[in-house]
C-alpha cells in the first residue's frame, strides 16, 4: 500500500482520504479547498478536478515541396525538421514551413466554416478529430471616408486643370450587371481573399458559409404584412418634412417644447457625408436649439435611430457566395440551434466552428486578423517650389510591419518626417521614435495582419482570454 513520507504544502483539505498517509491535513473534515493548484499526490483516490485549466494548441502549417498544402504539425515537430534542414520557413504569421524532401502528400478531409459579416468575419477549419485553424477578421470599415477624401482631392485638382473636359457623366459602372458599391465590394472581396489564403495553408475539401436573410421592414414593424410592404413611411404625407413633424409630435427633440409658430431646422443625427438624408437620420429642432447643439456639442442628447447597414450588406452579398465559390450555404437559425445544443457561448469563432461541423474536436488557439490599408493616397505634386503638405510617395515601411532595431523587435505605428523617421511600439506598449536607417530587418505585413489570442479553457468549458 502506498505511503507518503513528505508533508505536502498544497494538499486540498476537502480531497478524499488516502489510506496510510502521514499527511494529517488529508484526514481533516474541512470545507475549504485549494483552487488552481497542481497536486503532487500520485494516487487514483485523490480528487483530480484541479487539472482542468490547459492551454489550447497552436499548429504549424506545412506546405509540400511541390507547393501543395498538407496537414499541420506541432511546433516541436516543426522545430526538429528545421534543425535537420528538412524544411525551411516561408511565412512568419501564421507560421508556415515548406518541406525540402518529397513526401506522399496524403491529407485528411478538412471543412472550412465562414461566419460572414459586415464588421467581423469568423472562420474555423476542422478535421474529424481537431480544429486546425480559427479566428476573427476585424474589417477596417473606412472605405466610405476614403472615397470622400479622394473626391475632395479630385475636385481640387480639377479646379487647377481648367482645360480638362468634365467626366462626371461617365457612370458606366452603375449600368453593369451585378455592380456593388465600393464599400460593399471591398468587404465582400475580403471574404474571398480570406478563404483563398486558408486554402493555400490547408487542404480544404469543403467550404460552408453562413449567410443572413434580413427583412428590414419586418424588423422595423413586426406586424407588417401584405400590401403594407408597398406603403412606406411617407405614405399619406406631403413630403419628408411633414412626416418628421408628425413623427416628432410637433416638438423639438432637444428642449421638448412645441415648434408650432417657431422657426425649425432638420438636423442630421449622423452628419453628412457619412450619414444619409433618409427620415430615420433626421430630427426636428428649433433653429435656436440647432445653433446651441452645435456650439455646445449636444449631439449625444438626441435619440439615435437604428441603422441597418449590416443587414443591408448581408442582403446584397447573400446570393454571391455560391456563385463565386460553389460552396454550401447555411442560415443563422441553423447555427443558433447547433450552438445551443453544444452549450458554447456566442462568438464569431464559435459560430464558425459550428458552421464547419465542429462537435467534439479539440479546439485551437484562434487568430485575430486586423485589416489594414496597404497604400496611402499621393496626389499632390511639388509644382511651385514649396514642399508638399501630404506625402507624395509610398514608403517601404508601413503600419503593422515588424522591424528589428538594436536586436529588439518592434511593431511599426507609422512613418513621418518624409520617410526619414519611424514611430514604433515596443512589447510594453510604449511608443518610441527611431531613424529609419537604423532598421536591421523588416517583415512586411500585407492587407490582413495575423495576430494570436492566448486562450485557456476553464473547467466549466468557457473560454478565458488572458
pLDDT at 329 over 50: yes
- Candidates 1.20.120, 3.40.1800, 1.10.10, 1.10.287; correct CATH number of 235-301? 3.40.1800
Assess if CATH 3.30.420 describes domain 112-162+181-214+316-371: yes
Task: Average the pLDDT over each of 155-159, 196-200, 252-256, 394-398 and give the range with the smallest value.
Answer: 155-159
Residue 177: all three cell numbers together: 450587371
The sign of the dihedral angle between the CA atoms of 271, 274, 277, 282 is: negative
Residue 237 has pLDDT above 90, yes or no: no
Measured distance CA(11)–CA(41) in Å, rounded: 8
Mean residue pLDDT of the chain comes to: 78
Highest mean pLDDT among 100-114, 163-177, 440-454: 100-114
CA distance 220 to 232: 11
Considering only residues 78 and 25, tell me which one the structure prediction assigns the higher pLDDT. Answer: 78
Determine the average pLDDT of the residues in 170-174: 60
Phi then psi for residue 196, to 5 deg, are -65, -40
pLDDT at 153 over 70: yes
How many angstroms separate the CA atoms of 136 and 121, rounded? Answer: 6
Closest to 446 in 3D by CA, of 335, 377, 371: 371
Which residue in this structure is represented by grid cell 460593399? 184
Q: Could you report the per-residue pLDDT of 286-311, keeping only the tens digit for each?
A: 989 998 888 888 887 787 777 777 77
Give the domain ranges of the chain.
1-51, 112-162+181-214+316-371, 235-301, 402-445
Top pLDDT among 200 and 56 is at 200
| Lowest-confidence pick of 315-324, 352-361, 374-383, 400-409 | 374-383
- CA distance to 285, 400, 415, per residue, from 377 (Å): 39, 18, 14
**Between 25 and 423, whose confidence is greater?**
423
Cell of 98: 515548406
Measured CA to CA, the distance from residue 311 to residue 192 in angstroms comes to: 19
Higher-confidence position of 79 and 44: 79
Q: Give whole-number Cα distances, 158 to 75, 146, 378, 382, in Å.
A: 57, 18, 16, 17
- Chain-centroid distance of CA 411 in Å reads 19
Flag the least confident range among 54-68, 187-201, 353-367, 385-399. 385-399
Pairing of strands 328-331, 204-211: parallel
Judge whether 208 and 113 are in contact, CB under 8 Å.
yes
Length of the chain: 466
The order of strands in the sheet holding 61-63 is 61-63, 96-99, 87-91
Residue 385 has pLDDT above 70, yes or no: no
This prediction's pTM: 0.72
Question: Among 34-48, 78-92, 352-366, which stretch is predicted with the lowest mean pLDDT?
Answer: 34-48
Position 98 scores a pLDDT of 95
Same fold for the domain at 112-162+181-214+316-371 and the one at 235-301? no
Contact yes or no for 447/464 (Cβ under 8 A): no
Contact 60, 74 (CB under 8 A): yes
Which residues are CB-neighbours of 254 under 8 A, at least 6 positions away? 285, 286, 289, 292, 293, 298, 301, 302
pLDDT at 68 (0 to 100): 94
pLDDT at residue number 228: 61
* Grid cell locating 346: 456566442
Q: Which of the residue ranges 13-22, 32-41, 95-104, 231-240 would you say has the lowest mean pLDDT?
A: 32-41
Give the 3-state DSSP-derived string for the chain, with helices as H, strands as E and coil as C: CCCCCCCCCCCCCCCCCCCCCCCHHHHCCCCCCCCCCCCCCCCCCCCCCCCCCEECECCEEEECCCCCECCCECHHHHHHHHHHCCEEEEECCCCEEEECCCCCCCCCCEEEEEECCCCEEEEEEECCCEEEEEEEEECCCCHHHHHHHHHHHHHHHHHHCCCCCCCCCCCCHHHCCCCCCHHHHHHHHHHHHHHHHHHHHCCEEEEEEEECCCCHHHHHCCCCCHHHHHCCCCCCCCCHHHHHHHHCCCECCCCCCECCCCCEEEEECCCCCCCCCCHHHEEEEEHHHHHHHHHHCCHHHCCCCCCCHHHHHHHHHCCCHHHHHCCEEEEHHHHHHHHHHHCCCCCHHHHHHHHCCCCCCECECCEEEEECCCCCCCCCCCCCCCCCCCCCCCCCCCCCCEEEECCEEEEEEEEECCCCEEEEECCCCCEEEEEHHHCCEEECCCCEEEEECCEEECCCCCEEEC
Radius of gyration of the chain from its Cα atoms, rounded to whole angstroms: 30
Whole-number pLDDT of residue 304: 73
Amino acid at each position: 500500500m502506498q505511503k507518503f513520507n513528505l508533508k505536502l504544502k498544497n494538499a486540498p483539505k476537502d480531497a478524499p482520504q488516502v489510506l496510510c498517509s502521514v499527511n494529517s491535513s488529508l484526514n481533516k473534515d474541512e470545507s475549504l479547498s485549494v483552487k488552481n493548484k497542481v497536486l503532487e499526490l500520485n494516487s487514483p483516490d485523490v480528487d483530480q478536478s484541479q487539472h482542468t485549466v490547459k492551454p489550447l494548441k497552436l499548429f504549424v502549417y506545412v506546405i509540400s515541396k511541390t507547393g501543395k498544402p498538407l496537414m499541420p504539425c506541432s511546433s516541436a515537430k516543426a522545430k526538429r525538421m528545421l534543425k535537420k534542414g528538412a524544411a525551411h520557413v516561408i511565412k512568419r504569421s501564421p507560421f508556415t514551413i515548406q518541406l525540402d524532401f518529397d513526401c506522399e502528400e496524403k491529407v485528411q478531409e478538412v471543412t472550412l466554416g465562414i461566419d460572414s459579416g459586415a464588421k467581423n468575419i469568423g472562420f474555423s477549419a476542422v478535421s474529424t478529430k481537431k480544429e486546425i485553424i480559427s479566428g476573427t477578421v476585424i474589417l477596417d470599415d473606412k472605405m466610405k471616408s476614403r472615397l470622400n477624401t479622394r473626391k475632395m482631392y479630385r475636385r481640387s485638382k480639377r479646379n487647377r486643370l481648367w482645360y480638362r473636359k468634365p467626366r462626371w457623366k461617365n457612370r458606366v459602372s452603375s449600368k453593369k450587371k451585378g455592380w456593388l458599391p465600393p464599400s460593399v465590394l471591398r468587404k465582400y472581396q475580403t471574404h474571398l481573399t480570406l478563404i483563398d489564403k486558408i486554402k493555400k495553408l490547408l487542404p480544404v475539401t469543403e467550404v460552408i458559409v453562413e449567410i443572413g436573410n434580413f427583412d428590414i421592414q419586418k424588423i422595423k414593424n413586426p406586424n407588417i404584412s401584405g400590401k403594407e410592404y408597398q406603403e412606406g413611411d411617407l405614405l399619406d404625407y406631403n413630403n419628408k418634412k411633414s412626416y418628421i413633424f408628425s413623427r416628432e409630435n410637433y416638438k423639438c427633440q432637444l428642449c421638448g417644447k412645441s415648434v408650432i409658430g417657431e422657426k425649425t431646422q432638420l438636423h442630421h443625427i449622423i452628419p453628412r457625408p457619412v450619414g444619409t438624408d433618409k427620415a430615420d437620420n433626421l430630427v426636428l429642432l428649433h433653429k435656436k436649439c440647432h445653433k446651441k447643439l452645435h456650439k455646445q456639442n449636444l449631439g449625444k442628447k438626441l435619440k439615435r435611430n437604428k441603422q441597418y447597414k449590416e443587414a443591408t450588406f448581408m442582403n446584397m452579398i447573400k446570393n454571391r457566395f455560391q456563385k463565386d465559390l460553389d460552396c454550401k450555404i447555411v442560415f443563422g437559425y441553423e447555427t443558433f440551434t447547433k450552438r445551443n445544443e453544444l452549450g458554447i457561448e456566442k462568438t464569431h469563432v464559435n459560430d464558425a466552428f459550428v458552421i464547419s461541423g465542429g462537435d467534439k474536436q479539440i479546439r485551437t488557439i484562434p487568430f485575430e486578423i486586423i485589416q489594414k490599408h496597404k497604400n496611402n493616397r499621393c496626389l499632390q505634386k511639388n509644382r511651385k517650389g514649396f514642399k508638399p503638405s501630404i506625402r507624395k510617395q509610398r514608403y517601404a515601411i508601413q503600419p503593422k510591419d515588424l522591424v528589428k532595431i538594436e536586436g529588439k523587435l518592434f511593431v511599426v505605428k507609422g512613418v513621418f518626417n518624409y520617410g526619414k523617421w519611424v514611430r514604433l511600439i515596443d512589447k510594453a506598449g510604449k511608443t518610441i521614435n527611431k531613424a529609419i536607417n537604423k532598421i536591421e530587418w523588416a517583415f512586411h505585413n500585407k492587407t490582413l495582419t495575423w495576430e494570436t489570442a492566448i486562450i485557456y479553457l476553464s473547467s466549466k468549458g468557457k473560454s478565458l482570454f488572458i
